[in-house]
Structure 1
C-alpha cells in the first residue's frame, strides 16, 4: 500500500507510541491457538473467568478445528467483526472414501480454485443458500493413501468442509474432512498465537513482559486494511458520531474503493475507529466538500 498525502502541513508520527499495560487491558486483542474440542465461545470463556469483562472472537471455529483465533478484549470487542471478513488460510486433511490416482486428485483440486459456488451446510447458523466464494490458492501438500493434506487460501466465509465434500463428489468417490487447522486470519499467523495456558498465566501474573507478549494493540488487527489519517480537530465530533469530511483528511492509502471499510488514525498514529468510505482513494485525495467517510465504529474517549 502506498501512502497518499493530502495535507503536508501536519506531522503524523511514523510509529504508534507504546501503550501502557492499563491501556492494553482496556482495548487489545490476544491470538489464541485454539485446541481441538471446544467451540470458539467455550475456548475463550477462560478470559471472562480471570477478570476480562468482555471477550469477542473473530469468527467461529468448530470443535474439530484448531489454530488461529483472534479474541478482542474489553473495548476492543467493538471491532471484533473486522477480521471475520478478512482472508483466511487453512491446512486440512481430506479423507477419500476410495483410492484415486494422484494425478486425478491434483486435477480435481485445481478445478476448485478461483470463484466457486457453495451451498451453505445444513448445520450452519446462517440462511441456507448458494453463495459465491473465492479460493485464491489451493495446493496439495501431501498424499498418503486415501489421506490428502490440502493448503487453502480463501475468502472469508468459505466452508472448507463443504469444499472437501465437493472435491470428493467431483472425484466420484466421496470425501470427508477429519482435520482442519487455521494457519492465518487477517494479519495473524500461527507464530502469533498462544495456548490457553500461556495467555491465562500471563494475564494472571501481571508480569509486564509476559503481558506485552500476549496483549496486542488494536492497531495490529488493521494492518491489512485500507487506512486514513485524520486531523485531531475532527476527533471530538467523530466521538459523537459525526462523519469525516474531506477537509479533515491528512493522508490515506492508495487501495481504497467506494464503500470500503477503512481504519481511521489520528496524528499519533493511533487507531480511533472504523469508517466506511464514500469514495475511492483518488476522490478522498482531491475532493474538497462533503462527507468523505461515514462513522461506523468509534473507539475514541474524548470528554
Structure 2
C-alpha cells in the first residue's frame, strides 16, 4: 500500500448518503461489478461472456483481456458501469502457465539460459491465428521461468505486460534454441489483482443465480461479484470530502480544498482513483500536478476525471445555483470542489443578472468565476454558462 499525505484528519462522512461497497445489494453490484470466470477450453471469450450475460439476465456484459479458444483461466466479466473500466483492465499485468513441446529433447540449463534473454523489453508480434490485429508490439516480460522439463516438454511461467502473445514467445524461444516449439497448453493464472483461486465456472455462476432468484438467497451472488473498488485497489488514490463528490460525479475537476488524503509520489499525468470516505469509487482521474505538490497548494485544480463511475445523485450538491429564468440578482455558493466544506454554503457571492453578465468583459467574468470557486478557462460564453448552470 502506498504512503499517504493526510490533509484533513477531522473529515467525516454522512451515513445518509452513499454506502460502503460491502453493503451493496446484488442489483447494485451488477450495476457495476466484476465476475471472474474460469474460461474453459474451446469457446471464444465472446461466447462465454454472452452465456454469462444470459445467465445473469443482463442486457450487456463485457470482458477484460481476450483469451484465444484453446486457452483457459482468468477472464474478468464486466457488468454495468464496470464496462467503462475495460481499457484500465486491459492494461493490467498478466501471468500465464504454458506447456511447450519441442521437436527434440532440450537441455535444461541451456533452455533456462536462453529464457533469460527473452526477459525485459521485447518486440511481440501476434500470430496470424490470434483474435486481434497482427502488428508489431513492444511489451515487457517481467518473468520467464522454467518450472519443469521432461524430455521435449517444458512447463514455463510468464509474467508480462497486457497484450503479450505467448505463442510468439514460444516461436522466438525455438529460434534461439534451434528447435521447433509448439504451444500446446496455455492458462492465465492472474490478471491484475485477480488470481485463478477466485475463478468460477459457468455452472457455479448458474447455481448462485438460481439461489438468488428462486430461493431469495443472495449470499452466493454477493460473494461472486467483485465491486470496482477491488479491481482498482492497486491504483494510487485520493480520498475526497462528501461535499466534493456530487461535482466530481458530474465530471468536474477535483480542486485542492476538497481533498482528505492522497497517495504520495504520484506523478503528473498518472491515473488515480477518486474515493469517498466510505471507500466508494467516484471516478478514475488524471493528475494535473504531482501529488507531493499538494502539501504546498491551497487551491487550484489537482486532477481531471477520465472515467466517472458514481451516479451524480448519490451525494447532495455541495453548492447552490439560481433558477435559470431568474433575472434579478441572485446568490450562488462556491462549488465543494473549490472550497473547504465548512465554506460550501456559508460564503455566497452576489451574481449579476444574465443581461448584466452578457455586458461584462471576459476579465470581469474570470474574476467572478474565481470568487465563486469555478474553473476560469474557456470563452466568455463558457464562463457565463458556468456561473449560471
Contact 2:34–2:77 under 8 Å retained in 1? yes
Contact 1:89–1:184 under 8 Å retained in 2? yes
Counterpart of 1:261 in structure 2 is 271
Q: How far does residue 123 in structure 1 lie from its aligned partner after superposition?
A: 4.4
Equivalent position to 1:18, from 19, 23, 32: 23
Contact 2:4–2:262 under 8 Å retained in 1? yes
Q: How far does residue 281 in structure 1 lie from its aligned partner after superposition?
A: 2.5
Counterpart of 2:41 in structure 1 is 36
Counterpart of 2:10 in structure 1 is 9
CA gap of 1:71–1:240, structure 2 versus 1, over 3 A, is same
Counterpart of 1:74 in structure 2 is 80
Equivalent position to 1:245, from 238, 255, 258: 255
Equivalent position to 1:100, from 85, 103, 106: 106
Larger radius of gyration: 2
Q: Distance in 2 between matches of 1:47 and 1:285?
A: 47
Establish whether residue 55 from structure 1 lines up as the match of residue 61 from structure 2: yes
Determine helix, strand or coil for the equivalent of 2:65.
coil
Q: Distance in 1 between matches of 2:243 and 2:118?
A: 50
Establish whether residue 216 from structure 1 lines up as the match of residue 200 from structure 2: no
Q: Which has the higher contact order (CA 8 A, sep 6+)?
A: 1
Counterpart of 2:175 in structure 1 is 169
Q: Distance in 1 between matches of 2:51 and 2:132?
A: 27
Determine helix, strand or coil for the equivalent of 1:194.
coil
The RMSD of aligned alpha carbons is 2.0
Determine helix, strand or coil for the equivalent of 2:91.
coil
Contact 2:250–2:312 under 8 Å retained in 1? no
Q: How far does residue 37 in structure 1 lie from its aligned partner after superposition?
A: 0.7
Q: Which moved more, 1:106-115 or 1:233-242?
A: 233-242
Q: Distance in 1 between matches of 2:69 and 2:126?
A: 18
Q: Which runs of 4+ in 1 moved over 4 A?
A: 123-128
Question: Which structure 2 residue ranges, 5 or more long, are not aligned?
Answer: 314-389
Contact 2:247–2:312 under 8 Å retained in 1? no
* Structure (1 or 2) with the greater strand fraction: 1
Contact 1:54–1:77 under 8 Å retained in 2? no
CA gap of 1:251–1:196, structure 2 versus 1, over 3 A, is same
Q: Distance in 1 between matches of 2:23 and 2:176?
A: 52
TM-score w.r.t. length of structure 2: 0.73
Contact 2:253–2:301 under 8 Å retained in 1? yes
Counterpart of 2:344 in structure 1 is none
Determine helix, strand or coil for the equivalent of 1:44.
helix
Question: How many residue pairs align between the two structures?
Answer: 302
Contact 1:226–1:255 under 8 Å retained in 2? no
Determine helix, strand or coil for the equivalent of 1:78.
helix
Determine helix, strand or coil for the equivalent of 1:46.
helix
Question: Which structure 1 residue ranges, 5 or more long, are not aligned?
Answer: none
Contact 2:248–2:282 under 8 Å retained in 1? no
